[in-house]
Amino acid sequence: MLAFFRSKIIFLSVCSVALVSVWTVSPAYAATPVVTNDTFGTKQWYLDAIHAREGWAMATGSGSVIVAVIDSGMDPEHPDIKSNLWTNAGEIPDNDKDDDGDGYVDDVHGWNYVNNSNDVRPVYAVDGLREAWLHGTVVASLIAAAGNNDVGISGVAWKAKIMPLAALGSDGYGRDDDIVEAIRYAVSHGADIINLSFVGADFDANLEQAVNEATAQGVLVVSAAGNSDKKAGDNLDSSPGYPACDKGAAGRGTLTVSALTRGGQRAPYANYGKCVDVSAPGENLFAARPSYDSTTNQPAAGYVDNLTGTSVAAPLVSGLAVLLKSKHPEWKADELAQRILETTDPLDSLPAELKGKMGSGQINVARALADDAKSRALGPSYLEAAGPGQAPEVRVMAQDGTELYRFAVGETGDRRGVRASFVRWSGSRKPEIAISTIGDQTGAWRVYRSDGVLVAAGNLGQGIKGGLYLAAQDLDAIGADTLFLGEADGQRAWFVSAKEPKPVMSEPFASSDTHGISALSVARPMLSFLVTSRYGDGQMAIVGKNGQKHAWGQIGNRSAPKNGWQSRRAMDGQGGQAFDILSVDGRLVFVNDAAGLKLTKTPVKYTRWVQIPDGEAQVNGWRYFEAWPR
């Protein structure tokens, strides 16, 4: 057992022991299994149990999906892992400089928090644990060992980018502060999924907050439920473990994984309880280990058998998340988690005392990847509002152009036009819709449920110039949004939320040459807004909670073009973000997702715009404003 401590201990939950059992074959899935040429593919019984081979007919992964493995270190040169190793594009190797300004020198392939270096290989000590030395490589390979490459094994995903972050040492222990820093590093460097195959007994508020921040920024956090020294396992309801029981922003975007035997029963020592969301095989698994001898550093056989525990079950779930993200790049943590949970195989043979305590069931890769009504319901969907001259309505459209729903948001005779934004006002899984009326001087705003029921409303008082621009973001990482209200022809902005219903005013720009304040929601490296001066001197700022300004810049010194400084957020085919500002100098594109954005005048290829504060004119008087997931 491995672990982490400050005031607490976190156990890496894997044991290299032989356990005799019989695997019961699950009912065959409709898809034809994909046969691979991996050397030890026949040893990977668990891929059949979770229907991964059938799932590969629909997706095998993508190099655009980044998985952070926060663990005991990983062998970056392993022949089954090297091609899937993440590289920090902003860092120049071996020049002893922090090129990207992230506070880490030469962090080309991640970071080692145990010895504060860029060497992410596992640390070995004579008095250490063999399990600790091999653990990170085992976990990484189960997620995304290169598949069908005539070498070793296949991960659940054949392709991904694995970001190794070593936070646990040779004895299996580590500091909770290091775990927190590693989570924040992963988020700020673009991770889509974080795997945490360890557990501890003591609650830590900083760790919980880091998990909340990650999930609120769309990063799925997958945690092991942990193993117990007791053969019966620990009931997490009475003896909670962490981060297994840290459930993310409003309980969304995390998956806690327990382990099953080949026969579909709870694995010996696997913890259980209401904290568990899902289960996966965790007995007698075959995986990669460091491809060198721990004492001599000479090349050695790079694989290991007879692995058991929740630590090897969790990466199977992370691997499935990679496949889903590669197929649906617009899905965030919540959508990935929901899809995994709703497509499991039920655990009907569990004893009565474990009912509801091993999660929704065993993951089923093929079913999760299949296209059906539930997967289509997860998005993307597109928000449109009626433009000037039309009756005030909003509607939401599916990706194929089908209208999902629409409703009226004002008096039929009011033809001034509507601005709109998706918002999680009440923290519900399905977003609500915030609206304002173009040119309305009272600063009135309203929030509606998807069925047209009004859930919140307010106004800022007379004297609002041009009405309000809208945007929303979960600034507090609590699963509910703060609504940004920007004066469309002035220089003021307000922040309002269900938690803080009294509007808080902010003036993002000191200059009086600012007319119109619009914003785009920004997720990384912090939850914030990219605020733009609509007319005037083209100022920009990254603004966070309570109107705090984290960064400031200026598009140019010349006056704004006739149509103003127009800001839009786009998504490329791999789910990457780009912010597009149209200026008198041509297109200015900020690539990546937040403060310190890379500036380029070179057009960026994108799949679609996902947010346009001004609205983009569509046919029949509709204007497009935003996509969901955000």
Instruction: Say if residue 344 is in the same domain as residue 433.
Output: no
Among 292-296, 366-370, 455-459, the minimum mean pLDDT is found in 292-296
Instruction: Say if residue 333 is in the same domain as residue 358.
Output: yes
Tens digits of residue pLDDT in 30-39: 679 999 999 9
What is the average per-residue pLDDT within 277-285? 97
Which structure tokens are listed for 549?
A: 């300004």
Q: Is the pLDDT of residue 3 over 80?
A: no
What is the average per-residue pLDDT within 515-531? 88
Instruction: Say if residue 437 is in the same domain as residue 561.
Output: yes
Query: Locate tokens 């990254």: which residue?
Result: 542
Residue 596: inside a domain, yes or no? yes
- The answer to whether 580 and 591 are in contact (CB under 8 A) is no
Instruction: Say if residue 358 is in the same domain as residue 418.
Output: no
CATH code for the domain in which residue 517 is found: 2.130.10
Residue 182: inside a domain, yes or no? yes
| Position 592 confidence tier, pLDDT thresholds 50, 70, 90 | low
The phi and psi torsions of 330 (rounded to 5 degrees) equal -80, -15
The one-character DSSP state at 388 is T
pLDDT recorded at residue 24? 35
pLDDT recorded at residue 59? 97
Q: Which residue has the higher pLDDT, 608 or 176?
A: 176
- The answer to whether 554 and 527 are in contact (CB under 8 A) is no
What gap in Å lies between CA 520 and CA 611, rounded to an integer? 7
Which structure tokens are listed for 608?
A: 């679609």
- DSSP code per residue over 447-512: EE-TTS-EEEEE---S--SS-EEEEEE-TTSSSSPEEEEEETTSS-EEEE-SSS-S-EEE-----S
Instruction: Say if residue 562 is in the same domain as residue 593.
Output: yes
Please say which residue of 337, 369, 401 terminates a domain.
369
Q: Is the pLDDT of residue 120 over 90?
A: yes
Instruction: Say if residue 570 is in the same domain as residue 612.
Output: yes
Instruction: Say if residue 179 is in the same domain as residue 270.
Output: yes
- DSSP code per residue over 271-316: -BSTT--EEEE-SSEEEE--SB-TTT--B---EEEEEESHHHHHHH
pLDDT recorded at residue 437? 97
What gap in Å lies between CA 415 and CA 392, rounded to an integer? 7
- DSSP code per residue over 537-582: S-EEEEE-GGG-EEEEEES-SSPPPTT--EEEEEE-TTS-EEEEEE
pLDDT recorded at residue 546? 81
Instruction: Say if residue 73 is in the same domain as residue 117.
Output: yes
Is residue 94 classed as helix, strand or coil in its secondary structure? coil
pLDDT recorded at residue 586? 53
Q: Which residue has the higher pLDDT, 621 or 553?
A: 621
Q: Is the pLDDT of residue 2 over 50?
A: no
Query: Locate tokens 């047209």: which residue?
Result: 452
Instruction: Say if residue 176 is in the same domain as residue 66.
Output: yes
pLDDT recorded at residue 560? 64
Q: Tell me the residue range of the domain where 89 lies.
A: 10-369
Please say which residue of 349, 369, 389 terminates a domain.
369
Instruction: Say if residue 179 is in the same domain as residue 235.
Output: yes
What gap in Å lies between CA 209 and CA 203, rounded to an integer? 11
What gap in Å lies between CA 240 and CA 260, rounded to an integer? 20
Residue 496's nearest CA partner among 548, 442, 543, 460 is 460
- The answer to whether 315 and 143 are in contact (CB under 8 A) is yes
Residue 1: inside a domain, yes or no? no
| Position 389 confidence tier, pLDDT thresholds 50, 70, 90 | very high
Q: What is the dihedral of CA 367, 372, 373, 376, to 10 degrees?
A: 100
Q: Is the pLDDT of residue 28 over 60?
A: no
pLDDT recorded at residue 14? 52
What gap in Å lies between CA 288 and CA 84, rounded to an integer? 14
Instruction: Say if residue 349 is in the same domain as residue 434.
Output: no
- The answer to whether 523 and 593 are in contact (CB under 8 A) is yes
67 strand-pairing partners:
162, 193
What gap in Å lies between CA 63 and CA 252, rounded to an integer? 25
pLDDT recorded at residue 176? 94
Tens digits of residue pLDDT in 287-336: 999 999 888 888 888 999 999 999 999 999 999 999 999 999 999 999 99
- The answer to whether 169 and 133 are in contact (CB under 8 A) is no
Q: Any long-range contacts for 616-624 (C-beta under 8 Å, 24+ apart)?
A: 616/568, 617/387, 618/384, 621/386, 621/387, 621/388, 621/389, 621/390, 622/384, 622/385, 622/386, 622/387, 622/390, 622/395, 623/384, 623/385, 623/386, 623/387, 623/417, 624/382, 624/383, 624/384
What is the average per-residue pLDDT within 2-11? 37
* pLDDT > 70 fraction of the chain, expressed in percent and rounded: 90
Residue 4: inside a domain, yes or no? no
pLDDT recorded at residue 605? 74
Tens digits of residue pLDDT in 536-549: 777 888 899 888 88
Which structure tokens are listed for 170?
A: 């040779």
| Position 18 confidence tier, pLDDT thresholds 50, 70, 90 | very low
Tens digits of residue pLDDT in 190-228: 999 999 999 999 999 999 999 999 999 999 999 999 998
* Predicted TM-score of the model (pTM): 0.93
Residue 95: inside a domain, yes or no? yes
**Mean pLDDT, the chain, whole residue set:** 89
pLDDT recorded at residue 557? 59
pLDDT recorded at residue 540? 83
Query: Locate tokens 């309505």: which residue?
Result: 393
Among 35-44, 391-400, 575-584, 585-594, the minimum mean pLDDT is found in 585-594
- The answer to whether 140 and 147 are in contact (CB under 8 A) is no
Please say which residue of 321, 351, 369 terminates a domain.
369
Residue 192's nearest CA partner among 168, 156, 155, 163 is 163
CATH code for the domain in which residue 52 is found: 3.40.50.200
- The answer to whether 96 and 108 are in contact (CB under 8 A) is no
- The answer to whether 70 and 196 are in contact (CB under 8 A) is yes
Counting the structural domains of the chain, the total is: 2
Instruction: Say if residue 353 is in the same domain as residue 493.
Output: no
Residue 132: inside a domain, yes or no? yes
pLDDT recorded at residue 129? 84
Residue 150: inside a domain, yes or no? yes
Residue 71: inside a domain, yes or no? yes
The phi and psi torsions of 69 (rounded to 5 degrees) equal -105, 100
pLDDT recorded at residue 346? 95
Which structure tokens are listed for 445?
A: 């705003």
